[in-house]
C-alpha cells in the first residue's frame, strides 16, 4: 500500500479563473494570498476536457474521468419528475466522485458549492450543494433552503444564519465591484442585479465552507466558487471601452468588476488557507479558462451551452503543502489529474479506468501509486445515492405516462417535450465530442450519425464528423458529409477546408492548395486553414511558403499549437535549430499534450548538442503517444550512440518491434 503523504487536502475550484486575468493582478501585488501559495508550491496551466462547460468539467475534476464516462454532458438534463429539463444533477453521475471514495475508505469529506452536486449525497462529512446559496424569491418572503441541498439535513439550522440574500447587500459592498455605481443607466441595471446575485451566493457559499472547516472534522475539504465565471459572463464584454465588443458609454462603470472579483476571491482564499494551516495540502484549480481582450467573441443570447464559445481550454492550477516541491512549473496538467493526485496524497489506489494520472512531479519524494481496476467495483458504503432514490425518477415517469393514458394532459407538455428533446440531442452531441477527445472515434461516429437529422448544431455536428473521419482515414465518409450536410453557400469554407484536407491525406498537395486557397479567401480569419495550407506547402517542400502560412495562423491565434509546431518543422528544414526549439516550445506551452511538438523539440535540442534534454523531450513524446515509431527510433539511437545507455536503447527497440503503423508515422 502506498504511503499517505498528507493528513488533509483542501481542494478549491475557481470557476473559469484564467492566468491572463490573474497575472496582471499578481504583478501588481493585488492577490497576495494567491502569490504566497504560488511561491510555496507548484503552479501552471491546466487543461480542461470537452465540453468546456462547468457541470461536466467540475465532475471530471471530481472523478478523474471524461464526461462520456461520468455521465454529465451539459448544463441541463431531462427532468424525470416534472418533465422538461433541469440543471445537471448528481443523480445522473454514473461513477464515484473523490468524496465517495474517501467516504468508502473511512475518511471524512466535506463538499460545499460543487457544480452539479445537487441533490446532496449522504457522504461521511457534510455536503452542501450549488443550489443552496441561490436566492429565487424577493427579500422578505419565505426563502426555504432547497430540498436536498444539504446533508446531513439537521445542519440546516446552522446554515440558516449564514445565508445572504442579494437585497441584503448595501451600496458599499457593491461599490467594491462597481465603484461608479451611480453612473450606471437604468437600462443596464441587470448588470447590477447580476453582481448582487452572485456576490450574495458567493458570500453564502464561503460562509458555509468556513463554518464546515471550523466546526466539522475533515480529511478532504472540497469547495467550489462560481463567482468568477458569472462575473466574467456579465462584465467581460463591458470591461473597458477600448475593447471592440464594448462601447465607450458602457465601458467605464464596469471596468473594475472583473479585477475586483479576482481580488475578492483572493481574500476568501486567505481565510481558507488560515483555517487549513500549513500542514494541509492545498490544490487550487479552475475547470477551464475564459477568453478576454481580443479573443473574446461577440455576446451570445441563445442556449446556456453557447457560453462555451467564451471559454478556453486552459485554466489555472496551484498546489502547495507537505511534500509538494516549491517553485515547480507544471506544464502538462489536466483537470483529469486532480482526483488521481489527491488519491496519491492520501495513499489510496488510483482507478485504472480513470483518464487522469497522478501529478508525481509535484512531490519531493518518489511516489509509486497503487492501482485497482475501478473504484466503482469496490464494495462498501460510499455515500452515493441509493438505488431507491435512483428508481424514484423512473417510477414518477411511469406514473406520468399512466396519467396521460387516462386522458390527463398538461397544456405545457408540448413545449417541455420539445425542450427536453433539444437537451437530449445537445447532451448526446457533447458525449460524442468527449468520446472523440478520448480517442473513441467509432463510438462517437455512431452517435453523430444518428443525430445528423436532429442536431441542435448541424454545422458543428458536420465539423465533428468530418474531423473524426479524417483522423480515422475515412476519406470517403468525410466526402459524404461534405456532400450531404454542407450544401449551403454559407458552409462553403468548411467544405473547401475539408476537401483540402482530403486531398492532403490523399497525397495530392497541389489539389489541396486549390481547395485551401478558396477556403482562405472566404474565411480569412480562420487560423486552421492556414495551418493546413502550411502542411500542403511542406508536402511540396516549399519551406518559405510553408513558413508564411504558419506565421499567418500564429498572427490570427498566437496560442495555436499546430501553427507553432509547423514553424518548428520549417526551421528544422532550414537548419535553424534554435528557432525550431523556440517554436516547438511555444507549441508545448499552448498545448502540452502534443506528441509531435515534444518530438520536434527533442530533434532541435539534439541538433544543438543538448542530448540529455533532447532525450527527455523524446521520452515525453512517446509517453503521450506510445506508438510514435519515429520518436522511439530516434530515442533508441540517441541512447545507443550518443548517451551510451544501451539498456534504455534496447528497451525502446524492443517496443518498436511490437508497434503497428499509426497516424504519427506517415
Average pLDDT of the chain, as a whole number: 89
Query: Three-state DSSP class for 656?
Result: helix
Query: Three-state DSSP class for 298?
Result: coil
Report the alpha-carbon distance of residue 507 to residue 503 in Å, rounded: 6
Domain identity same for 104 and 226: yes
So what's the pLDDT on residue 248?
38
Whether 239 is covered by a domain: the verdict is: yes
Residue 282 φ then ψ, to 5°: -120, 130
Whether 164 is covered by a domain: the verdict is: yes
Whether 82 is covered by a domain: the verdict is: no
Report the alpha-carbon distance of residue 113 to residue 96 in Å, rounded: 18
Tell me the CA distances in angstroms from 240 to 30, 38, 178, 299, one per residue in order.
19, 29, 13, 15
pLDDT tens per residue across span 526-560: 999 999 999 999 999 999 999 999 999 999 988 89
Report the alpha-carbon distance of residue 280 to residue 231 in Å, rounded: 30
Q: Last residue of some domain: 311, 328, 362?
A: 311
Report the alpha-carbon distance of residue 50 to residue 460 in Å, rounded: 14
Q: Last residue of some domain: 292, 311, 330?
A: 311
Grid cell locating 242: 477600448
Q: Is the dihedral of CA 405, 408, 414, 418 positive or negative?
A: negative
Number of domains in the chain: 2
Domain identity same for 165 and 304: yes
Higher per-residue confidence, 142 vs 271: 271
Q: Please tell me the least confidently modeled range out of 179-193, 464-478, 582-596.
A: 179-193
Contact 165, 152 (CB under 8 A): no
Of 58, 69, 51, 74, which is closest to residue 14 (Cα–Cα)?
58
pLDDT level of residue 387 (50, 70, 90 thresholds): low
Q: How far apart are the first and last CA of the chain?
A: 43
Contact 333, 61 (CB under 8 A): no
Residue bearing cell 475539408: 498
pLDDT(411) > 60: no
Q: Are strands 314-320 and 280-285 parallel, antiparallel or unpaired?
A: antiparallel
pLDDT tens per residue across span 244-275: 444 434 446 888 999 999 999 999 999 999 99
336-357: average pLDDT: 97
Domain identity same for 281 and 429: no
Of 132, 57, 119, 59, which is closest to residue 93 (Cα–Cα)?
59
Q: What region does 71 belong to: left with phi over 0, alpha with psi -120 to 50, or beta?
A: left
Domain identity same for 298 and 414: no
Whether 495 is covered by a domain: the verdict is: no
pLDDT level of residue 410 (50, 70, 90 thresholds): low
pLDDT(563) > 50: yes
Residue 248 φ then ψ, to 5°: -65, -35
Its pTM stands at 0.86
Domain identity same for 160 and 305: yes
Whether 507 is covered by a domain: the verdict is: no
pLDDT tens per residue across span 103-130: 999 999 999 999 999 999 999 999 999 9
498-509: average pLDDT: 95
So what's the pLDDT on residue 242?
37
Domain identity same for 303 and 421: no
Domain identity same for 298 and 430: no
Give me the CATH number covering residue 111.
3.40.720
Domain identity same for 35 and 136: yes
pLDDT level of residue 666 (50, 70, 90 thresholds): very low
Q: Last residue of some domain: 311, 332, 366?
A: 311
pLDDT(188) > 50: yes
Residue bearing cell 506517415: 666
Buried b (16+ CB within 10 A) or exposed e, 35-63: bebbebbbbbbbbbbbbbbbbbbbbbbbb
For residue 476, count CB atoms less than 10 angstroms from its CB and return exposed for 0-12, middle for 13-18, buried for 19 or more.
exposed
Q: Please tell me the least confidently modeled range out of 296-310, 461-475, 564-578, 631-645.
A: 296-310
220-224: average pLDDT: 99
pLDDT tens per residue across span 423-443: 999 999 999 999 999 989 999
Whether 295 is covered by a domain: the verdict is: yes
Domain identity same for 143 and 14: yes
Contact 290, 312 (CB under 8 A): yes
Whether 360 is covered by a domain: the verdict is: no
CA 521-525-531 angle, to 5 degrees, is 85
- Full domain range(s) for residue 463: 395-487
Grid cell locating 480: 459524404
Domain identity same for 401 and 257: no
Whether 590 is covered by a domain: the verdict is: no
Amino acid at each position: 500500500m502506498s504511503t499517505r503523504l498528507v493528513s488533509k487536502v483542501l481542494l478549491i475550484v475557481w470557476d473559469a479563473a484564467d492566468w491572463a486575468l490573474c497575472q496582471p493582478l499578481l504583478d501588481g501585488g493585488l492577490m497576495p494570498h494567491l502569490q504566497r501559495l504560488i511561491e510555496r508550491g507548484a503552479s501552471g496551466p491546466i487543461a480542461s476536457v470537452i465540453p468546456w462547460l462547468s457541470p461536466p468539467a467540475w465532475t471530471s475534476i471530481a472523478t478523474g474521468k471524461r464526461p462520456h464516462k461520468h455521465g454529465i454532458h451539459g448544463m441541463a438534463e431531462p427532468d424525470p419528475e416534472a418533465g422538461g429539463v433541469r440543471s445537471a444533477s448528481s443523480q445522473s453521475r454514473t461513477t464515484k466522485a473523490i468524496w465517495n471514495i474517501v467516504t468508502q475508505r473511512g475518511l471524512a469529506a466535506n463538499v460545499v458549492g460543487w457544480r452539479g452536486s445537487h441533490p446532496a449525497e449522504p457522504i461521511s462529512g457534510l455536503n452542501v450543494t450549488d443550489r443552496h446559496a441561490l436566492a429565487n424569491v424577493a427579500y422578505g418572503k419565505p426563502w426555504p433552503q432547497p430540498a436536498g441541498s444539504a446533508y446531513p439535513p439537521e445542519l440546516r439550522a446552522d446554515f440558516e444564519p449564514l445565508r445572504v440574500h442579494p437585497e441584503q447587500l448595501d451600496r458599499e459592498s457593491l461599490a467594491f465591484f462597481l465603484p461608479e455605481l451611480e453612473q450606471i443607466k437604468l437600462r443596464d441595471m441587470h448588470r447590477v442585479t447580476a453582481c448582487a446575485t452572485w456576490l450574495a451566493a458567493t458570500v453564502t457559499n464561503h460562509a458555509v465552507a468556513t463554518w464546515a472547516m471550523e466546526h466539522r472534522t475533515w480529511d478532504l475539504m472540497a469547495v467550489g466558487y462560481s463567482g468568477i465565471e458569472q462575473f466574467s459572463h456579465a462584465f467581460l464584454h463591458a470591461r473597458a471601452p477600448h475593447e471592440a465588443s464594448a462601447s465607450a458609454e458602457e465601458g467605464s462603470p464596469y471596468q473594475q468588476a472583473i479585477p475586483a472579483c479576482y481580488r475578492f476571491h483572493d481574500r476568501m482564499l486567505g481565510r481558507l488557507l488560515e483555517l487549513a494551516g500549513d500542514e494541509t495540502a492545498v490544490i487550487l484549480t479552475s475547470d477551464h479558462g475564459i477568453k478576454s481582450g481580443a479573443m473574446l467573441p461577440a455576446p451570445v443570447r441563445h442556449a446556456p451551452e453557447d457560453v462555451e464559445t467564451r471559454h478556453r481550454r486552459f485554466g489555472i492550477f496551484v498546489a502547495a503543502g507537505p511534500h509538494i516541491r516549491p517553485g515547480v512549473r507544471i506544464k502538462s496538467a489536466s483537470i483529469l489529474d486532480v482526483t488521481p493526485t489527491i488519491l496519491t496524497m492520501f495513499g489510496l489506489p488510483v482507478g485504472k479506468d480513470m483518464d487522469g494520472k497522478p501529478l508525481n512531479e509535484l512531490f519531493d519524494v518518489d511516489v509509486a501509486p497503487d492501482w485497482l481496476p475501478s473504484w466503482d467495483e469496490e464494495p462498501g458504503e460510499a455515500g452515493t445515492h441509493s438505488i431507491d432514490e435512483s428508481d424514484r425518477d423512473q417510477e414518477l415517469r411511469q406514473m406520468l405516462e399512466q396519467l396521460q393514458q387516462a386522458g390527463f394532459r398538461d397544456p405545457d407538455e408540448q413545449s417541455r417535450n420539445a425542450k427536453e428533446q433539444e437537451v437530449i440531442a445537445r447532451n448526446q452531441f457533447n458525449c460524442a465530442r468527449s468520446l472523440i477527445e478520448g480517442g473513441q472515434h467509432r463510438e462517437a461516429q455512431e452517435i453523430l450519425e444518428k443525430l445528423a437529422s436532429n442536431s441542435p448544431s448541424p454545422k458543428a455536428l458536420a465539423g465533428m464528423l468530418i474531423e473524426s473521419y479524417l483522423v480515422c482515414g475515412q476519406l470517403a465518409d468525410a466526402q459524404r458529409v461534405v456532400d450531404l450536410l454542407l450544401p449551403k453557400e454559407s458552409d462553403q469554407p468548411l467544405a473547401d477546408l475539408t476537401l483540402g484536407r482530403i486531398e492532403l491525406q490523399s497525397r495530392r498537395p497541389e489539389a489541396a492548395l486549390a481547395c485551401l486557397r478558396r477556403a482562405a479567401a472566404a474565411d480569412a480569419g480562420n487560423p486552421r486553414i492556414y495551418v493546413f495550407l502550411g502542411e500542403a506547402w511542406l508536402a511540396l517542400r516549399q519551406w518559405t511558403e510553408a513558413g508564411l502560412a504558419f506565421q499567418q495562423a500564429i498572427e490570427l491565434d498566437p496560442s495555436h499549437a499546430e501553427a507553432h509546431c509547423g514553424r518548428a518543422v520549417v526551421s528544422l528544414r532550414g537548419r535553424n535549430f534554435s528557432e525550431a526549439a523556440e517554436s516547438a516550445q511555444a507549441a508545448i506551452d499552448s498545448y502540452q499534450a502534443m506528441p509531435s511538438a515534444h518530438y520536434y523539440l527533442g530533434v532541435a535540442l539534439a541538433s544543438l548538442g543538448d542530448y540529455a534534454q533532447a532525450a527527455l523531450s523524446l521520452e515525453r513524446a512517446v509517453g503521450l503517444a506510445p506508438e510514435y515509431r519515429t520518436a522511439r527510433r530516434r530515442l533508441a539511437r540517441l541512447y545507443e550512440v550518443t548517451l551510451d545507455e544501451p539498456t534504455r536503447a534496447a528497451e525502446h527497440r524492443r517496443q518498436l518491434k511490437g508497434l503497428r503503423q499509426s497516424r504519427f508515422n506517415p
